[in-house]
Amino acid sequence: MNGSPRKKQRTDVQESIVTVILGAQWGDEGKGKVVDLLATTADVVCRCQGGNNAGHTIVVDGIEYDFHLLPSGIIQPNVKSVIGNGVVIHLPQLFDEIEKNVKKGMKDWEQRLIISDRAHLVFDFHQAVDGLQEQEKNQKGQGLGTTKKGIGPTYSSKATRNGIRVGDLLGDFEKFREKFKTLVATYERMFPNLQVNIEDELVRYEKYAIKIKPLVYDTVSFLDKAIREGKKILVEGANAAMLDIDFGTYPYVTSSNCTVGGVCTGLGISPIRISTIVGVVKAYTTRVGDGPFPTELSNEIGDLMQERGGEIGVTTKRKRRCGWLDVFLLQYTNMINGYTAFCVTKLDILDTLKEVKIAVGYNLNGKRIHYMPSTASDLAKVECEYITLPGWEASTENVREFSDLPKNAQSYINKIEELVGVPIKWIGVGKGRESIIKIN
């Protein structure tokens, strides 16, 4: 060392804003609506994980759009939409989804949709295997309530390194043919009843290769360039923290990381680029399918939440189980995700209740615990400690300012903020884009 001062490292990175939207509970919190709201000022909207097992509903000018694979920002005319490498893609579903939304008014999607060449493909036989595996589990009383969309088997193929990526489809088709046959043979050995018409599928995918080619790009370099140019990037997480394969209620989880770490691995974005992490929280709690649910209400209040909230899964069409808001759970998912802000949705669903409860602690085997149980069996045994707040028994649907909310509704929101320690920036009181209260 000669004692001379070190030169400051030069960088061409401008101040890019990368905002991440994540489900803070068991999914169905209304992430798509928040993405739609924030996408109006974004340059790029991304999906980073999951597949068509996700379901996001957007209502714009009275028109309801349902997205499963497409990023919700696709309906914004000036926004690029990226399907990242961490997503698993069923091409028939993708193009079916595009067609349905075009009929509802979605325009110019071809110029704005970008698909990673590293994303893995979901085939029909993956979906068939998903159903067969669930059938086997159900016979043993161990069903997981999977969506049967082939997501788990596709991620399994990815992990065992015999999966097929978008880039494989667009390369030498003879090599794709051999990979496809090998993958089918693997599953046929595992499931003798599985039937796949290989030649018909290959003809089908040869056509898909032509159809998808103009949309495919190296999304890692695309996003890096966007960041260096100071573009506003919005990342739309699918599923939710309690469905994360590592941190959720395993095995009643999805097959990907739907916490903040999945954003980095699913898009190739460095964690230091992420500036804002928004947790989306339903004003009560719901979950679809099986698995432990400490605050579940199997009574008339749960039925009221289900009916008033229209709690039917966008993807599964199954009724969602409903229960009180679980702050202990939110504190846990905040440990993992480090939320910088909350959006609380569906506050209006609680408008008719005389009182509302919030779970603030868990007791396991008669003792207060300060951690989230790692096993589903332990979580199923916890007893919740609640605080009770007075309801507001007044409509919030047309309220657009926080100060105009009924006082007891304000108290409910303030109590959530106080207990979790995360500022609440938005409150949803209806279906449409316009029915969100923004808190400065």
100 carries a ligand binding annotation: no
347 carries a ligand binding annotation: yes
Q: What count of residues does the chain have?
A: 440
Element (H, E) at 46: strand 44-47
33 carries a ligand binding annotation: yes
56 carries a ligand binding annotation: yes
Element (H, E) at 39: helix 31-39
Owner of token pair 């939409």: 81
Euclidean distance between CA atoms 124 and 73, whole angstroms: 27
Give me 20's structure tokens: 């991440």
428 carries a ligand binding annotation: yes
316 carries a ligand binding annotation: yes
Catalytic annotation, pick one of 56, 90, 126, 425: 56
31 carries a ligand binding annotation: yes
Euclidean distance between CA atoms 432 and 56, whole angstroms: 13
**Residues 98/200, Cβ–Cβ less than 8 Å:** no
97 carries a ligand binding annotation: no
- Identify each DSSP E strand in 108-173 by its residue range: 113-116, 120-121
**Residues 48/73, Cβ–Cβ less than 8 Å:** no
137 carries a ligand binding annotation: no
What are the backbone angles phi and psi of residue 279, rounded to the nearest 5°?
-95, 130
55 carries a ligand binding annotation: yes
37 carries a ligand binding annotation: no
Q: Which conformational region is residue 217 in: left (phi greater than 0), alpha (psi within -120 to 50 degrees), or beta?
A: beta
367 carries a ligand binding annotation: no
Catalytic annotation, pick one of 28, 130, 168, 244: 28
Return the bridge partners of 39, or none: none
Give me 383's structure tokens: 């007893």
165 carries a ligand binding annotation: no
Euclidean distance between CA atoms 421 and 433, whole angstroms: 26
3 carries a ligand binding annotation: no
DSSP state of 55: -
Is 66 marked active-site? Answer: no
Is 90 marked active-site? Answer: no
57 carries a ligand binding annotation: yes
254 carries a ligand binding annotation: yes
Catalytic annotation, pick one of 90, 120, 148, 158: 158
32 carries a ligand binding annotation: yes
Is 120 marked active-site? Answer: no
**Residues 29/240, Cβ–Cβ less than 8 Å:** yes
429 carries a ligand binding annotation: yes
Q: Report the relative pairing of strands 274-282 and 424-428 from DSSP bridges.
A: unpaired
320 carries a ligand binding annotation: yes
30 carries a ligand binding annotation: yes
230 carries a ligand binding annotation: no
308 carries a ligand binding annotation: no
Selection from 432, 26, 437, 39 nearest residue 235 by Cα:
39
314 carries a ligand binding annotation: yes
Selection from 18, 436, 383 nearest residue 227 by Cα:
18
318 carries a ligand binding annotation: yes
Q: Report the relative pairing of strands 63-67 and 56-60 from DSSP bridges.
A: antiparallel
Here the contacts of 246-253 (C-beta below 8 Å, separation 24 or greater) are 247/333, 247/336, 249/26, 249/291, 249/292, 249/376, 249/379, 250/374, 250/375, 250/376, 251/144, 251/376, 252/144, 252/145, 252/289, 252/290, 252/291, 252/292, 252/376
Residues annotated in a binding site for GTP:
27-33, 55-57, 320, 346-348, 428-430
Task: Output the known binding site for IMP.
Answer: 28-31, 53-56, 147, 161, 239, 254, 318
Query: Annotated binding site for Mg(2+), which residues?
Result: 28, 55
Q: Which residues are annotated binding-site positions for substrate? A: 314-320
Q: Residues forming the annotated binding site?
A: 27-33, 53-57, 147, 161, 239, 254, 314-320, 346-348, 428-430
Residues annotated as part of the active site: 28, 56, 158
